[in-house]
Amino acid sequence: MLTPTDSVSLTGPLSPAALRRAAAPLTVAVDDEARARVERGRRLFHSLRHDAGGEDRPIYGATTGFGALVGYSGRADEADQCDNTLAHLGVGQGPDLPRAIVRAALLLRVRSLAQGVSGVSAEVVDRLAAMFATDFSPAVPRHGSVGASGDLIPLAYAAQALRGRGHAYTGGHRMPAADALAAAGLRPLVLDGRDALALVNGTSLTTAALSLACDAVRAAHRALASLTCLLADVLGCDPGFLDADLLRAYGHAGAIDVGARMRHTLAGCAPSGTRPLQEPYSLRCSPQLLGAAEDALRYVDGVVGADLGGVSDNPLFFPAGAEEGAPGRVVHGGNFFGQPAAFAADLLASVAAQLGNLAERQLDLLVDPARNGGLPPMLATVPGAQHGLQGVQLATTALVAEIRRAAVPAAMQSLPTNLHNQDVVPFGTQAALRSYDMAELLALLCGSLALGLRQAVHVGARRPTASRCAALLDALADAIEPVDPDRPLDADVRAAARLLVTCDLP
């Protein structure tokens, strides 16, 4: 039996850290305040659905068909209306999404439902919360969402798995969902039409993927700032390009803040006096580039924070004030429309592409004897008899090309669908998942540069003169042997990438 080691409350906004922790067993607390909100919202839904004469009031998804078929009646039986919601959405394609994304999406979904304005049953919130104490994770195909009425198709697969249909993971194995539920000690979830629609009618998958992608790009950003300092130190560069007055004159907050961190990392650095008056832009303009990335990442942080604290669903049920003399109102609208996340994910993709380009250019500088201060070509110990970083440099070119190809904006690709009911769509899901993939490639580019820096000192570059740069080099040297003689370096690149995430960077 798995024992959760962390806990999350459904009262108040989630944090990006909570989404990261959702990959492992987690205690999700449904406190009295949250349960009271949910039960109040459920009572309001029922009171609004049935008028004084006993007739059903039209409420989208509870009494009607879906999407373009909203003008037709749904199914009268509650269980049938749940099937009516979910069955037609079982059309996803492609490989399963990473379980970390799926579980983060469901944590965000249950948090949204727990705010009490979706009209769901307390049973749905309680049972979703209970799932997180296990390692159960629905098997959700990657392709199918346009991120307009929420992430309908992927979240439908998640909902079906919680009902014991489709497939899921537990114990590291993919199996029929009913078997996975039993193995995890969970019972199949029973839903009515309102519950089913509320589970799928939100952008939780998009937001989860965007949040996790932003975390990964931020980690690469921190790593590149430190690696740039290490590169400048081992080559003997003058750190004047980080001058505080220079960057204050530039006027951009991100550059000022990144420059300050880089000066801290390079404190104690002694220039060699042998470098050109002006370094290539991949060094000289690094605080401006990394600073612009910092400004962009702060914008993405703001979008993620708003989504983590908001409610993504339709319709919503709002209790009336005491002076209104009515139970409340149902409001049909578009809070499932993932445009903010789409724009933010496209911006994040641009950041990842330029950071990846910076890492590749810095490695290219490092392996070129015409620009690296006379170190051997490709940092080979015995050029010709050995090839050093030649294969790594070739692979980084391929990785950068892949990142650039993937950086095409998704939010501008709107296509009408659903009989023009969804006549504009944001494609935020594609944008967020694409940024998540790009972040993985960016980490490998950072690992490649780190490997090059470790090898540069082995073949003759000076040992860093700044203590924090020396500590980073020592961490790399402890984890990775010098390339002497040649060997396959794929695992070394991955090891360097992992080290940059886990070590205490200056």
Residue that is written with structure tokens 């008899």 in the block: 385
**What residue type is assigned to position 437 of the chain?**
D
pLDDT, residue 54, reads 47
Cis, peptide link before residue 315, omega less than 30° from 0: yes
Higher pLDDT, 334 or 103: 103
Among candidate residues 84, 127, 91, the one with its CA nearest the CA of residue 109:
127
Beta strands 7-9 and 27-29, pairing class: parallel
**Across residues 282-294, what is the average pLDDT?**
98
Q: How far apart, in whole angstroms, are the C-alpha atoms of residue 483 and residue 380?
A: 8
- Type of residue at 356: G
Amino acid of residue 246: L
For residue 446, the cross-strand partners are: none
| Residue of 412 and 161 predicted with greater confidence | 161
Asked if 86 and 156 touch (Cβ cutoff 8 Å), the reply is: yes
246-272 residue pLDDT tens: 999 999 999 999 999 999 999 999 999
The residue-averaged pLDDT of 15-29 equals 94
Active site residue 60: yes
Q: pLDDT tier at 391 (50, 70, 90 boundaries)?
A: very high
Q: Which two tokens stand for residue 332?
A: 């049909």
Cβ distance 84 to 194 under 8 Å?
no
Mean pLDDT, residues 387-409: 95
Tens-digit pLDDT profile for residues 133-179: 999 999 999 998 887 878 999 999 999 999 999 999 999 999 999 99
Query: What are the tens digits of pLDDT across the range 32-72?
Result: 999 999 999 999 998 888 765 545 678 888 888 777 788 77
CA dist., res. 142 & res. 205, Å (int): 10
Q: Which of 209, 156, 185 is nearest to 338 (CA)?
A: 209
Residue 222 has pLDDT above 60, yes or no: yes
Sign of the Cα torsion 147, 312, 348, 441 reads negative
* CA–CA distance, 471 with 116 (Å, rounded to integer): 51
- Distance between alpha carbon 259 and the CA centroid of its chain, in Å? 26
The dihedral built from the CA positions of residue 123, 139, 20 and 293, taken in this order, carries a sign that is negative
Higher pLDDT, 471 or 330: 471
- Active-site hit among 60, 157, 169, 436: 60
Q: Which amino acid, 498? A: R
Domains of the chain: 7-202 (1.10.275.10), 215-312+336-502 (1.20.200.10)
Mean predicted confidence (pLDDT) in 226-238: 97
Tens of pLDDT, residue by residue over 176-220, are: 999 999 999 999 999 998 999 999 999 999 999 999 999 999 999
pLDDT digits (tens, 9 = 90+) for 417-441: 766 667 678 778 999 999 999 999 9
Helix, strand, or coil here: 255? helix
As beta bridge partners, residue 331 has: 316
Distance CA 404, CA 449 (A): 18
CA distance 503 to 354: 24
The rounded mean pLDDT for the chain is 92
Q: Which pLDDT score is estimated for 77?
A: 76
User: Do the beta carbons of residue 185 and residue 3 sit within 8 Å?
Assistant: no
- By C-alpha distance, which of 83, 84, 75, 66 is closest to 418? 66
How many residues comprise the chain?
506
- In contact, 109 and 189? CB cutoff 8 Å: no
How far apart CA 365 and CA 235 sit, in angstroms, is: 10
Calculate the alpha carbon distances from 422 to 73, 204, 330, 403 in Å: 20, 19, 21, 30
Q: Which position has the higher pLDDT, 324 or 464?
A: 464
| DSSP bridge pairs for 7 | 27
Q: Is the pLDDT of residue 94 over 90?
A: yes
- Using 50, 70 and 90 to split pLDDT, how confident is the model at 6? confident
Residue 89 to residue 176: CA distance in whole angstroms: 18
pLDDT (mean) for 353-375 = 96
CA 372 to CA 366: how far, in whole Å? 5
Report d(CA 307, CA 301) in Å as an integer: 10
The runs of H, that is alpha helices, within 330-466 are 339-367, 390-406, 428-458
E strands, 17-89, where? 27-29
- Three-state DSSP at 411 gives coil
Radius of gyration of the chain (CA): 26
CB atoms within 10 A of CB 297: 19
Query: In this predicted structure, what is the pLDDT of residue 505?
Result: 83
CB atoms within 10 A of CB 462: 14
Q: Indicate if the pLDDT at residue 339 is higher than 60.
A: yes
Question: In whole angstroms, what separates CA 241 from the centre of its chain?
Answer: 32
Compute the average pLDDT of residues 387-395: 97
Residue 308 and residue 13 in contact, taking contact as beta carbons nearer than 8 Å: yes
Whether the per-residue pLDDT at 30 is higher than 70: the answer is: yes
Contact partners, residue 327, CB within 8 Å, separation at least 6 = 44, 47, 48, 319, 320
Q: Residue 479 — pLDDT band, cuts 50, 70, 90?
A: very high
- Judged against a pLDDT cut of 70, whether residue 132 lies above it is answered with yes
Which backbone phi and psi does 140 adopt, to 5 degrees?
Answer: -125, 120
Q: What is the pLDDT of residues 305-333, one digit of tens each?
A: 999 999 999 899 998 865 566 778 889 88
Per-residue pLDDT, 5: 66
